[in-house]
Amino acid sequence: MSLYRMDTLMRQARNKGICLGAFECWDSLNVQMIAKASDFCGIPVIFQASPVEYNTMGGPDALADIVNFFVKKYDIDAALHLDHGSELKHVAECAENGFSSVMLDASSKVFEENVRLSAAAAEIAHGNGISLEAELGHVSGGDGGAGESALTVPAEVVEFVRRTHVDCLAVSIGTIHGEYRGDPKLHLDLLAEIASLTDVPLVLHGGSGTPIDQLHAAIRLGIAKINICTDIHKAFLAGIEEAKTDRTPSVPGNYYIPACEMMFRKTVEMIKLFSEIK
């Protein structure tokens, strides 16, 4: 199978009343486990990586080659997405190297600058026949978070979408990147208002650690993609800890089996949680 535009898969998911998982990629092992989980569940997935992650793999072209290999091997429907591109050059290099979707994150900047940069990114994306995600409001936390979170302002949504021509909109409704420091509480009333103002597919960053009942409520209100990084990485690291108890690092092919198995199970769990809405 070839890669799809991310917005196409998200609209299909919304039509079915489900949400797609977007899983961070940092090496070929975790790319394979994501693809294997998608095949097991029979649900499309979104592979995504920030510049930091794809550069650890040799660049955007290397990640695209690895993802395409496993997409064809497992015969799955998928998108490959730039997560949190912070500069237009990130958008351009991913668009030119086989990504089917990109994100320009200017959410920490003032509204007019966010509009300007997101519109420029849309020109690059659409010129390459791929979709663009931008963020309105700001989800903080993690290495990619700059400053404090700022909730999305509904009054800005219509103008932002109209002026930028974005295909997917990431909203800030109370999640954070990384691990929560307190009890998560999503502003579902805010999400409902945002969803009533636009028909572009909505994205939720910071899905890891968010209570599933709140995620299901968000999906019912219009969230079509939920980003997951911390949860699958913690599963991978737990597998490494297990391997230390009875496996030797001298045989890497055996040593990494628990990490792969745990990451596969966690990815399956998340895909099912997003597609079996209660």
Task: Establish how many alpha carbons lie within 13 A of residue 143's alpha carbon, considering only the half-sphere containing its beta carbon.
Answer: 10
User: 3-state DSSP call for residue 138?
Assistant: strand
Q: From residue 168, how far is each of 93, 224, 260 by CA, in Å?
A: 20, 9, 31
How far out from the chain centre does Cα 111 lie? 23
Q: Are 45 and 78 in contact (CB under 8 A)?
A: yes
**Calpha distance 222→18 (Å, rounded):** 9
Q: Residue 36: which of 2, 74, 7 has the closest Cα?
A: 74
Neighbours of 158 (CB within 10 A): 11
Q: Are 209 and 179 in contact (CB under 8 A)?
A: yes
Is 83 one of the catalytic residues?
yes
**Calpha distance 102→117 (Å, rounded):** 13
Q: Residue 101: which of 84, 76, 120 has the closest Cα?
A: 84
**Calpha distance 84→107 (Å, rounded):** 10
Q: Which residue has the tokens 């977007």?
A: 22
**Residue 68 burial by Cβ neighbours in a 10 Å radius (0-12, 13-18, 19+):** middle
Selected catalytic residue, list 61, 65, 75, 83: 83
Q: Looking at 211-259, which runs of residues are DSSP E strands?
A: 223-228
Give the residue numbers marked as catalytic: 83
